Amino acid sequence: MAMSFFDQFASPSYLGVPLIAIAIALPWVLYPSPSSRWVNNRLITIQGWLINRFTNQLMLPLNIGGHKWALLLASLMVFLITINMLGLLPYTFTPTTQLSLNMGFAVPLWLATVIIGMRNQPTVALGHLLPEGTPILLIPVLIIIETISLFIRPLALGVRLTANLTAGHLLIQLIATAVFVLLPMMPTVAILTATVLFLLTLLEVAVAMIQAYVFVLLLSLYLQENV
C-alpha cells in the first residue's frame, strides 16, 4: 500500500509510448487565442488583464534590458500554473512532480541569466562572488561558498517545485484513503476527515499557483542581478 501511493508520480505510457508529451502540450490548447476584433469576450479580456498585471509586477524592478524576458517569463508562469492546476484533477498526471522536467526548465534559464551577466557586465557578475570589505584570509573561503551557492540555485528551483507538489499530492491521497477506510466504520470521523480533505484541496490550489509564481519570481531576481 505504501508503494502504491507513489504510482501517481510515474510517467504514464500507452503501448510503450510515453504520454508526458501530451500532458505538457495540453495546457496550451485550453487557452483561447486573441482575435483581431476590437471587442473580445470576457474570458479573453480577463486573461489578458491578468497576464498584463503579472508582467508589469514582474518587470517592475528590472531595467529595460531585462524587459526582453517578459514574454518568456509570463508564458512560463501561465504554463506552470495550468499544469499544476490540471494535476489536481482526478486521474490526471502532473508533469511538474518530475524533478527532471523542473530541472530542464531551471538549468537552461538560470544558465542564460549567468551568461548574460558574464557577457554584459563581467566585473559586476564576478563581484557577486566576493562581498566588499572581506578580510584577506576569508577571500578564498567566501569565493568557494558563493560559487557553490551560485550553482545550487537551479537545483533549489527544481527541488522546491517538485517537493511542494509531491508532498501535497501525497497528503491528498493519504487523507482520501483514510476517508474511504473510515466511512463504513466511523461515519462521523469520516465526514470530519472529508472536511479536512476539502480544505487541504483548497490549500493545494493555492500552493499550485504560488509555487509557479515563486519559480518565475526567483528567475526574475536572478536576471535582475545580471542585467
Write the pLDDT tens digit of every residue in 54-93.
888 888 888 887 888 888 898 899 889 989 988 888 878 8
User: Of 220, 211, 223, whose CA–CA distance to 82 is shortest?
Assistant: 211
Q: CA torsion sign, 189 to 193 to 194 to 198?
A: positive
- CA distances from residue 76 to 10, 54, 135, 180 in whole angstroms, order as listed: 23, 12, 42, 37
Domain positions in the chain are 7-225
Q: Kindly report, residue by residue over 105-126, the tens digit of the pLDDT.
A: 999 999 999 998 888 888 887 8
What is the H or E stretch that residue 17 is in? strand 17-18
- The pTM (predicted TM-score) of the whole model is 0.83
For the cut 80, the answer to whether the pLDDT of residue 11 exceeds it is: no
